[in-house]
Amino acid sequence: MISLSNLKKFKTEGRKFSCLTCYDSSMAKAMEVAQVDTILIGDSVGMTMQGHDSTLPVTVADMAYHTACVRRANQHALIIADLPFMSYATPSDAIKNAREVMQAGAQMVKIEGGAWLADTVRTLTQNGVPVCMHLGLTPQSVHVFGGYKVQARTRETADQLIADCKALVEAGTAVLLLECVPEQVGREVAELFPHIPVIGIGAGRYTDAQVLVVQDMLGLTQGKVAKFVRNFMTDQSGSNAILDAFRAYHQAVIAGTFPSPEHTFQIEL
Ligand code: KIV
């Protein structure tokens, strides 16, 4: 089973690693066979599986349920579970709710925000819970942003994001995840922390790992699809198409062929 030590070793060796969201046992088994390195039980489950228009309605019980479904079927990947909206507003809420998803099978929790969560990161880490910090476009704050928009588009806002990362790493953050930021910001953050793996989604080619929402990369998402998504089903055929799409994604991330420039935000800071 992949551990945090493996992710840190991957970073030191320059070996990129793959991550996909997953919410159920059948997909989790296919991801195990395809050797996907890490799985995120994302609160995107609110949109992909529950039919909501944001992640806000998702509960801790939902996250624990989906984490247990995935863990039962996959003994290979490191499993990260999201703590949902308002479930980590205080450090004591965070440890109470982290307990639920860790006991359901997660090896790490992900929370969204910046330097103001340093105490929460410290408390979680001291209580045996590794933390992945999600910065950039943080979907739980969609109503603050006024929509799903690229973040850190200026030198000033990029420096603010980098200052947040520094404070969070200082507090014990194990992994950073950047969503929808210019490629240059993804690169700067990955280079700044030699021992902290940085996962990107719409954060360019230079992060240490990539994550996609599984429905997006299987071409199941209807309507407008984000610029950073590649549909890995288009090259597949036959009865193992989904499994082969997971294999193709894993290989493309490791080889550095996904994302390509067309999936990145090239914005001059
Ligand atoms: O919930 C989720 O799927 C996520 C990814 C978009 C990174 O947080």
Res 22: pLDDT: 98
CA–centroid distance, 134 to ligand 1, in Å, is 9
Q: Which of 41, 44, 176 to mutate to test the pocket of ligand 1 (most atoms within 8 A of CB)?
A: 44
CA 218 to chain centroid:
17
Residue 27, amino acid: M
Question: Sorting pLDDT into bands at 50, 70 and 90, what band is 240?
Answer: very high
What number does CATH give the domain 4-263?
3.20.20.60
Active-site annotation holds for 179: yes
Res 158: pLDDT: 98
What pTM did the predictor assign?
0.98
Q: How far apart are CA 229 and CA 214, in angstroms?
A: 10
Answer yes or no: is the C-beta of 215 below 6 A from any ligand 1 atom: no
Domain ranges, ordered by start, for the chain: 4-263
Which residue's alpha carbon is at the smallest distance from atom 8 of ligand 1?
42
Print burial letters for 144-158: b (CB count within 10 Å at least 16), e (below 16): eeeeeebbbbeeeeb
Query: Among candidates 167, 266, 257, which has minimal Cα distance to 210?
Result: 257
Answer yes or no: is the C-beta of 213 below 6 A from any ligand 1 atom: yes
CA–centroid distance, 213 to ligand 1, in Å, is 7
Instruction: Tell me the three state secondary structure of residue 256.
Output: coil
Answer yes or no: is the C-beta of 180 below 6 A from any ligand 1 atom: no
The tens digit of pLDDT for each residue in 101-111 reads: 999 999 999 99
